[in-house]
Structure 1
Amino acid sequence: MKKFLFSTTVLAIFACLLWATPFTAIKIGLKYTTPLQFAGIRFLLSGLIILPFIKDLKYKVLESKKRWRFILWVALLQTTFLYGLLYTGISFIPGALAAMLIGAQPLFAAVMAHLMLKNDKMTWQKIMAILIGISGVCIISLGRADFVLTTTIPLGVGILILNNIVGSTGNVIVSRDAKDMPPRVLASFSMIIGGIVLLLISIPIENPSWSTIYPSEYYLSLTWLAIVSAFAITIWFGLLQRPGVKVSNLNTWKFIIPIFGASLSWLVLPDEKPDLISILGMIVIAFSLLLVNYLNRRDAKKHIVKT
């Protein structure tokens, strides 16, 4: 039972479930403060939340000084640039288009892994499975939001494509170069540094307020987002560092985020109800995940036979 609970598949699904919950909380938070400031506070808190759970913290801090360049690089890629681009890009395009572009992240992860890793090459079967998953995300997105064309769409699309490249590159770097770093240490230190950089960037760009007292819903949403990031990113970094786990395969589990997001909306929001288009999109995504898992098991059997 314990082995099942800590299996790569179960932990990946749990992390994606956590990542499916923040959308409402982000909307609440952005009603009261600016995007970069809000993101900066969120990730600074996330990193601080993890600190008490790090054993031998003083020793780990001293050890981490030897790899401060790597930690800084991860902080910039996986926190500062990733979420700075995400929050900015979303503000320029309709929600449906943003959801589709974000949902295409597994494809970018597969491409970057193919370019940067020797043991994670693309095949036409894997590409087909990922494209099927992306089509499922598109079906759900188009079925759940109005598409309004604006002149800022090309800019927003470009920013979110860059966001996907940055996020995928960060995943590859963690998988390739973080084998000797405990996931909690890397997640905590990188989010603290990344959050501080976001806050510093927000000062000249957004000129945010620092003395305003907000309603309780703001602080509740901020607390939940910080907890989600602390758990989900720590789990994800740990999975990326596991022997035999491929970046491209792991990232395909992110296709279930829109499934969880839609299901939570149906359960929580009174005006949201299941619709045929969304259910069709979920079926397509499910088929994509089944196909990816079949390909992974087939490749694993081939590897065993060769060895």
Structure 2
Amino acid sequence: MSSATSALLPSPAASRLTDRKTVFLLAMFCCLLWGSSYPAIKGGYGLFGIAAGDIPAKLVFAGWRFALAGAALLAWATLSGKRVGGWTGRQWSGFALLGLLQTTLQYVFFYIGLANTTGVKSSIMNATGTFFSVLLAHWIYHNDRLSFGKAIGCLVGFAGVMVVNLGSGLGGLLHLDFTLLGEGFVVIAAAVLAGASIYGKRISQGVDPVVMTGWQLAVGGGTLLLLGYGLGGTLRNVTPASATLLAYMVLLSALAISIWSLLLKHNRVSLITAFNFMVPVFGAVLSALFLGESILEWRNAAALVMVCIGIWLVTKEPRRR
């Protein structure tokens, strides 16, 4: 077999990343990690003594999380013999743009939004990212078109988001318990992440996804630190407990985003985003477990079911004739 022909064939590692069982296990692991981030972030606010309105301190908290995660990934890539430098100007600008979008901009909205609503509601609202991904993929990829089933799934999912924001009591059915700085910012963060993920899939075709993730986290986290400290933010109450939680969040980010980028590189966008329905499940359950929030309230339970059904309709494989 010629070298040119063998170069066109998938490597054993790439083949494993398209195996359904492997994809399932890795994607579920990512969703579990991301689900745990909701109670972890809100717990971090308490451990570090960050007040609800202290936006600069939230940016510093997020900045250290992602900057350290990026540094850890780049160090591991270097020790593994991967190429981490010597990129073209276009590639460096791609890393920078991805970092500013996927890390800086997304988490500015996400951290502020999460501080102004509950972890359960945030996990459900953030699931709208799946629907944004499906809609964007329709216009970008010829093999990922929006079908009738996907359209119905989007409608059901967004209806679930409306349900979780209904007010309490009979009168609450006539108005939404929704604020721009809370639920609104979480949805905006989901939309930014959807667009950045598709852009990251494009960049990863010519770069190792782990290295790409390391640089985008380093750039995005560094920008968050500059913004946070520049606005007067700082981290107080640095204790063994708060430092341990921050270390967990660094590990969470490094693992989840790297694995997700690998899966996106070797699979269709809609196939991988199919597993996003487990993020609100894990997020809601873990928020109820660690934060004492209610998951059994009818709005939360109904919205969770509707969002999961919507994402399943959006991402299920069509039956072959």
Where on the TM-score scale, by shorter chain, does this alignment land: which range?
A: 0.7 to 0.9
Q: Distance in 2 between matches of 1:257 and 1:52?
A: 28
- CA distance in 2 between counterparts of 1:21 and 1:109 reads 22
Aligned Cα root-mean-square deviation (Å): 3.5
User: For residue 25 of structure 1, what is the aligned residue in structure 2?
Assistant: 40
* Aligned equivalents of 1:227, 1:48: Cα separation in 2: 11
Separation (CA, whole Å) in 1 of partners of 2:304 and 2:118? 21
Which runs of 5 or more structure 1 residues have no equivalent in the other structure? 303-307
2:101 to 44, 54, 77: 77
Q: Counterparts of 1:90-105 in structure 2 under 5 Å?
A: 90-92=114-116, 98-105=122-129
* Contact 2:44 2:246 (C-alpha < 8 Å) held by counterparts: yes
What is the Cα deviation at residue 278 of structure 1?
5.3
2:179 partner letter: I
Residues in 2 aligned to 1:271 and 1:150: alpha-carbon distance in whole angstroms: 20
Structure 2 counterpart of 1:221, from 245, 261, 281 = 245
Q: In the alignment, is residue 248 of structure 1 matched against residue 270 of structure 2?
A: yes
Map of 2:53 onto structure 1: none
Structure 1 residue aligned with 2:146: 122
Moved more, 6-15 or 39-48: 6-15
Pairwise CA distance, 1:116: 3.0
In structure 2, C-alpha distance between the alignment counterparts of 1:267 and 1:156, rounded to whole Å: 21
> Is the contact between residue 103 and residue 254 of structure 1 (CA under 8 Å) also seen in structure 2?
yes
Q: Which consecutive unaligned segments of at least 5 residues does structure 2 have?
A: 1-15, 51-56
AA aligned to 1:247 is V
Q: 2 CA distance for matches of 1:278 and 1:138?
A: 11
Q: Is the 8 A contact 1:103 1:134 kept in 2?
A: no
Deviates more, 1:217-226 or 1:93-102: 93-102
Q: Which residue of 1 aligns with 2:10?
A: none
Structure 1 residue 171: Cα displacement:
0.9
Q: Does 1:49 align with 2:72?
A: yes
Partners in 2 of 1:50 and 1:143 — Cα distance? 43
Looking at structure 2, the residues matched to 38 and 75 of structure 1 have their Cα atoms a distance apart, in angstroms, of 17
- Deviation of 1:191 after TM superposition, in Å, equals 0.5
Q: Which residue of 2 aligns with 1:208?
A: 233
TM-score by length of 2: 0.76
Match of 1:231 among 241, 255, 258: 255
1:8 matched to 2:10? The reply is no
2-side partners of 1:262 and 1:153: how far apart?
20
- Which residue of 1 is the match for residue 136 of structure 2? 112
- Identity among equivalent positions (%) equals 27
Matched with 2:221 is 195
Q: Give yes or no for contact 1:46–1:192 (8 Å, CA) kept in 2.
A: yes
Query: Given the superposition, is the C-alpha separation of residues 177 and 189 from structure 1 closer, same or farther in structure 2, using an over 3 Å criterion?
Result: closer
Q: Give the secondary structure class of the aligned counterpart of 2:83.
A: helix
The number of equivalent residue pairs is 291
Distance in structure 1 (CA, Å) of the matches to 2:233 and 2:291: 31
TM-superposed CA distance for 1:9, in Å, is 2.5
Shift of 1:184: 1.0
* Maintained 8 Å contact 2:39/2:286: no
Counterpart contact for 2:66–2:218, Cα < 8 Å: yes
1:82-126, CA deviations, whole angstroms, 9 ceiling, x for partnerless residues? 111211233455666644432211111112222333332212211
Give the equivalent residue in structure 1 for 2:195.
169
Q: Residues 21 and 152 from structure 1, CA distance in 2 versus in 1: closer, same or farther, beyond 3 angstroms?
A: closer
Shift of 1:38: 0.2
CA distance in structure 2 between the partners assigned to 1:35 and 1:95 by the alignment: 16
8 A contact 1:79–1:195 mirrored in 2:
yes
Q: CA 1:254 to 1:135, structure 2 compared with 1: closer, same or farther past 3 Å?
A: farther
| Deviation per residue, 1:250-269 (Å, 9 max, x gap) | 22322211211233355556
Work out whether residues 107 and 131 of structure 1, in 8 Å CA contact, stay in contact via their aligned partners in 2. Answer: no
Preserved contact between residue 47 and residue 191 of structure 1 (Cα < 8 Å): yes
The residue number in structure 2 matching 1:305 is: none
Q: CA 1:49/1:280 → structure 2, altered by over 3 Å: closer, same or farther?
A: same
CA–CA separation in structure 1 for the residues paired with 2:110 and 2:214 = 20
TM-score scaled by length of structure 1:
0.79
